[in-house]
Amino acid sequence: MAGTKRRVWWGDYRTTEYATIDPEATIAVLPVAAIEQHGPHLPVSTDTSIMTGMLETVIARLPGDLDIRILPVQAVGKSNEHLHAPGTLTLPAATLIEAWTELGLSIARAGLRKLIVVNSHGGNEEIMGIITRELRVRAKMLAVKTSWQRFGRPAGMYTEIEDRQGIHGGDVETSLMLHFRPDLVDMAKADNFVSNVARAEKEFSLLRHTGTHAFAWIATDLNPNGVVGDASIATAEKGRLTANHQADGFISLVKDVRKAKLVDWLA
């Protein structure tokens, strides 16, 4: 007989099982993603496919003593920077703030006080900051926000330019998709999509598309194709190693959140 499949998904638990939650030990995970254009070589599901693949990687590597409850992936995020491209789905920031805050409050009503919001789309970053603060104020939750890319990449795997500028549909995301969903990648259309960030670095001392002194942009401000980075050199092996690296980083964060005592860190 096959072994019992480990339960980590929120919906796989019975309502009576939530009555015995340990708020110090059980951690909710809210995955937020996007459906939006990723250039001529990747599907609009890229951010959601990467999220699904990353969660599966985490589950496969998760130590047995960690108790997480993963909510359904929120596939539609704030993607209005990609409205030029058919297939992009987006919701207003106010709608997402209300919806994701309400999900957090539902988590709190189930007895959980620790939450990690994990993201696979840059356009959701500001939303995460607002909802985690709201949940701290309204539900006294230890609410943490992070993104897969914040856990870095294996040293020396990607070029220095890619690390700084390849933020959308470049080597990193294409490699991850070649690992997770190669059937959806058209490498014949993958190219080196040069970013206008390089131009800004030459012309300005501080002004940038991203970083400390950033201006708001839409995808075509970065490159006419709406993607940036050298997708032509992507490989599935780089994607596999990147996924493992970031999954291990996420697991380290889960360990920290479990270790953090609510009484010690929340006034």
pLDDT per residue over 116-128, tens digit each?
999 999 999 999 9
User: Which architecture does CATH list for 16-259?
Assistant: 3-Layer(aba) Sandwich (3.40)
pTM: 0.96
Q: What is the pLDDT of residue 5?
A: 85
Q: What is the pLDDT of residue 3?
A: 57
Domain extents in the chain: 16-259
- Nearby residues of 251 by Cβ (< 8 Å), 6 or more positions away: 58, 61, 62, 63, 66
Instruction: At 237, list the tokens.
Output: 């092996």
pLDDT (tens, 9 = 90+) of the chain, 267 residues, equals 455 789 999 999 999 999 999 999 999 999 999 999 999 999 999 999 999 999 999 999 999 999 999 999 999 999 999 999 999 999 999 999 999 999 999 999 999 999 999 999 999 999 999 999 999 999 999 999 999 999 999 999 999 999 988 999 999 999 999 999 999 999 999 999 999 988 999 999 999 988 899 999 999 999 999 999 999 999 999 999 999 999 999 999 999 999 999 999 998
Q: What is the pLDDT of residue 216?
A: 95
- Nearby residues of 160 by Cβ (< 8 Å), 6 or more positions away: none
Find out whether 243 and 180 touch, Cβ atoms under 8 Å. yes
DSSP-based three-state secondary structure for 160: helix
CA distances from 126 to 10, 31, 77, 191 (A): 25, 15, 11, 30
pLDDT tens digits for range 132-161: 999 999 999 999 999 999 999 999 999 999
Q: Helices in 20-142 by DSSP H: which ranges? A: 46-61, 93-109, 125-139
